[in-house]
Amino acid sequence: MARDSESGLPIEPVYGPEALEGWSPEEKLGDPGRYPFTRGVYPSMYTGRPWTMRQYAGFGTAVESNARYKQLIANGTMGLSVAFDLPTQMGHDSDAPIAHGEVGKVGVAIDSIDDMRVLFGGIPLEKVSTSMTINAPASVLLLLYQLVAEEQGVPADQLTGTIQNDVLKEYIARGTYIFPPKPSLRLIADIFKYCKAEIPKWNTISISGYHMAEAGASPAQEIAFTLADGIEYVRTAVAAGMDVDDFAPRLSFFFVSRTTILEEVAKFRASRRIWARVMREEFGARNPKSLMLRFHTQTAGVQLTAQQPEVNLVRVAVQGLAAVLGGTKSLHTNSFDEAIALPTDKSARLALRTQQVLAYETDVTATVDPFAGSYVIEKMTDDVEEAATELLARLEELGGAVAGIEQGFQKGEIERNAYRIAQETDAGERVVVGVNRFQLDAEEPYEPLRVDPAIEAQQGERLCKLRAWREQSEVDSALEQLKKAAEGEDNVLYPMKEALLARATVGEVCNALREVWGTYVPADAL
Amino acid sequence: MSQLRLVVAKPGLDGHDRGAKVIARALRDTGVEVVYTGLHQTPRQIVDTALQEDADGIGLSILSGAHMTLFAEVLRLLREEDAADIPVFGGGIIPEGDISELLGLGVAAVFTPGTPTRSITDWVHTHLGREAVA
């Protein structure tokens, strides 16, 4: 009897050749690095070198985070990935009333160029690529990064990295939105154009499904809703006058990897195939790079438990393996204590070691897309592709991703799935080791990382000094220029850079834009 | 017995609402009327909503680490409004060591990851409402 996959698709106990009757490897697979890219976006994938080990990190002030980054680099991380605190992610300064209690808690507090300089102090930005998980204020942090690099003597055209910059998924699943959809999309188009001209090696967006999966989306929903967002961004950029091949090569994606290896591998392969087809057929992209779905993966945080947390080491290893078998370009592995608090030095190191074991002690990197031709994997790839394509079509009927968001479609589907998972877990149908089976009578105590609450006051003091030191009239006039650009059609990043150079704060820049664009108010009710 | 009415809230800047939404739905399935506040609520807004809705309890969901500040502020505002009899409970990412401190401040219950949804709804029906005796 078949068992249901996470997407509700059947998994047969035994597969045979009949599962692939009529299946054409030329049409469905192609070679690695060739359309439709099912097997991977590059011809040699990991046989040349492993995926990028890119561990997400950040907490407290720039000083602590800078130290953690240097530690990670010493331990073998291949690229940086910055976690910002919630006030920064929401475009507020550390001394804003709404920031009280939140400063430095889930990531590093960055209020100005002074903080950014400390964050990357002693880190050579011409050598290290940096991914920044920042969305509504992505432009602000990108420009701060560029300014700090320029201070280091590194020209912008040498900078490599990514900004997440995916506001649509914020409305759906993550919550760090500021402005309504229309100006948010305009801002994203401005970023695409700015980067094409000024920071050409930068990945301008990381179109994300990770957060939707964490919110409860099934694998099919995860890729359908993500690709729908991608389609919306491409349409936005094209409508803003860009040629698809001008920006599409710098789009990137971000998915989750769960412990359900088979369906995850199928999911990744299906997503590459669908995107390649959409880009070629709907948008007429000609550059092969425009058709390549390059993605980062993070292991599923929501699958981790606070009970018997060491078991999470095992979960993360399995999840990491799923991502690697699926051909991820870069990978973040969670630390085992993350259902409790932010990682300690040791747990962060262990998470990185997990990837190093996968890369150097297994043989999965010896050949590209090792599951190709497998009955179950090819059948599941086709099935996930079909389910995701159907959902994409439904969204298209509603009018696309933004229309879907306004109607609460994606959120509703995700919440329904989240509830189903909660019910299955409660009923014991879905086993969670250590939680509803194999529990301990008494858990061992665990001392989590604590963020020093004095940080909030420290940041407040830094802001006072900054505001006293800088030339206020310069800041004021730069912010006026920014507002003028926001009201019109000029690219806002140029005046924004001037404002940040004059030491306008993250909050001040975002507040200026709030004045022009307003803030998003969701129609969120049960 | 009249229907219980609860406010389920997301205080502060944390945007992760899966837990809050699952609990809200589960409560509704057991006959509780739930007013969900949406994201980015200040403690002031939450307390005002609870008062306006004549709520029998307030559930807070906090995954951002700001729980000590936000729970304390909600409790303080309730006392200020002479409404300290409205129980406050909640959950999220809250280390074990902080739970006793929260309970000491007056939080009625804290439910952390792994708690069966059923335990929470049972607790609500047992401990809240006009029928429950303090």
* A419: nearest CA partner in chain B: B22
Residue A419 is predicted with a pLDDT of: 97
**Mind telling me how many Å the CA of B101 is from chain A's nearest CA?**
15
Residue A1 is predicted with a pLDDT of: 66
Q: Of all helices (H) and strands (E), which one includes residue A320?
A: helix A311-325
Q: Considering only CB atoms, which chain A residues are within 8 Å of B95? A: 340-341, 448
Residue B134 is predicted with a pLDDT of: 45
Per the rule left: phi > 0, alpha: psi between -120 and 50, beta: everything else, B122 is: alpha
Confidence bin at A42 (pLDDT 50/70/90): very high
Q: Kindly state the tokens that stand for A52.
A: 């990028």
CB spacing of A451 vs B26 below 8 angstroms: no
CB spacing of A418 vs B22 below 8 angstroms: yes
Question: Is the pLDDT at A415 greater than 70, yes or no?
Answer: yes
Of the candidates A151, A92, A95, the one whose C-alpha atom is nearest the C-alpha of residue A124 is A151
Q: What is the dihedral sign for C-alpha B92, B97, B101, B106?
A: positive
Burial class (CB in 10 A: 0-12, 13-18, 19+), A379: buried
Confidence bin at A448 (pLDDT 50/70/90): confident
CA distances from A371 to A213, A294, A366, B132 (A): 24, 19, 13, 59
Closest residue to A87, CB basis, from B13, B97, B114: B13
Q: Which residue has the tokens 């069966």?
A: B116
Confidence bin at B133 (pLDDT 50/70/90): very low
Rounded to whole angstroms, how far apart are CA atoms A155 and A38?
36
Q: Considering only CB atoms, which chain A residues are within 8 Å of B28? A: 526
SS3 B130: coil
Q: Going from the N-terminus, what domains does chain B have, and what CATH number goes with each?
A: 5-127 (3.40.50.280)
Do A265 and A322 meet the contact criterion of CB atoms below 8 Å apart?
yes
Mutate to test the interface with B, among A93, A94, A100 (most CBs of B within 10 A): A100
* B23: nearest CA partner in chain A: A419
CB spacing of B25 vs A415 below 8 angstroms: yes
Question: Is the pLDDT at A236 greater than 70, yes or no?
Answer: yes
Q: Considering only CB atoms, which chain B residues are within 8 Å of A170? A: 15
Rounded to whole angstroms, how far apart are CA atoms A461 and A95?
9
Residue A523 is predicted with a pLDDT of: 74
Q: What is the dihedral sign for C-alpha A218, A137, A159, A286?
A: positive
Report chain B residues touching chain A, CB-CB < 8 A: 12-18, 21-22, 24-26, 28, 34, 36, 38-40, 42, 64-66, 68-70, 93, 95-97, 112-114, 116-118
Rounded to whole angstroms, how far apart are CA atoms B124 and B121?
5
Helices vs. strands in chain B: H and E counts, helices first = 5, 5
Residue A480 is predicted with a pLDDT of: 98
Longest dimension (CA), chain B: 37
Q: Considering only CB atoms, which chain B residues are within 8 Å of A342? A: 65
pLDDT (tens digit per residue) in B54-112? 999 999 999 999 999 999 999 999 999 999 999 999 999 988 889 999 999 999 999 99
Lowest mean pLDDT, pick from A72-76, B44-48, B84-88: A72-76
Confidence bin at A77 (pLDDT 50/70/90): confident
Lowest mean pLDDT, pick from A31-35, A76-80, A355-359: A76-80
Question: Is the pLDDT at B131 greater than 80, yes or no?
Answer: no
Q: What is the mean pLDDT of residues A390-400?
A: 98
Q: What is the mean pLDDT of residues A143-170?
A: 97
CB spacing of A175 vs B117 below 8 angstroms: no
Sheet holding B88-92, edge to edge: B33-36, B5-9, B57-62, B88-92, B109-111
Q: Of all helices (H) and strands (E), which one includes residue A208?
A: strand A205-208
Q: Kindly state the tokens that stand for A384.
A: 């996930």
* A101: nearest CA partner in chain B: B66
Confidence bin at B129 (pLDDT 50/70/90): low
Question: Is the pLDDT at A290 greater than 50, yes or no?
Answer: yes
Residue B1 is predicted with a pLDDT of: 54
Confidence bin at A453 (pLDDT 50/70/90): confident
Q: Any idea how long chain A is?
A: 526
Q: How far is CA A252 from the centre of its chain?
A: 9
Q: What is the mean pLDDT of residues A124-134?
A: 96
CB spacing of B113 vs A90 below 8 angstroms: no
Residue A524 is predicted with a pLDDT of: 65
CB spacing of B38 vs A426 below 8 angstroms: no
Question: Is the pLDDT at A201 greater than 50, yes or no?
Answer: yes
Question: Is the pLDDT at A525 greater than 60, yes or no?
Answer: no
Residue A450 is predicted with a pLDDT of: 85
Which residues share a beta bridge with B7?
B35, B58
Q: What is the mean pLDDT of residues A460-470?
A: 97
**Mind telling me how many Å the CA of B113 is from chain A's nearest CA?**
6
CB spacing of A525 vs B38 below 8 angstroms: yes
Residue type, A111: D
Of the candidates A49, A71, A40, the one whose C-alpha atom is nearest the C-alpha of residue A351 is A71
Q: Going from the N-terminus, what domains does chain A have, and what CATH number goes with each?
A: 3-11+41-426 (3.20.20.240)
Mean pLDDT, all residues of chain A: 96
pLDDT (tens digit per residue) in A501-524? 999 999 999 999 999 999 998 876
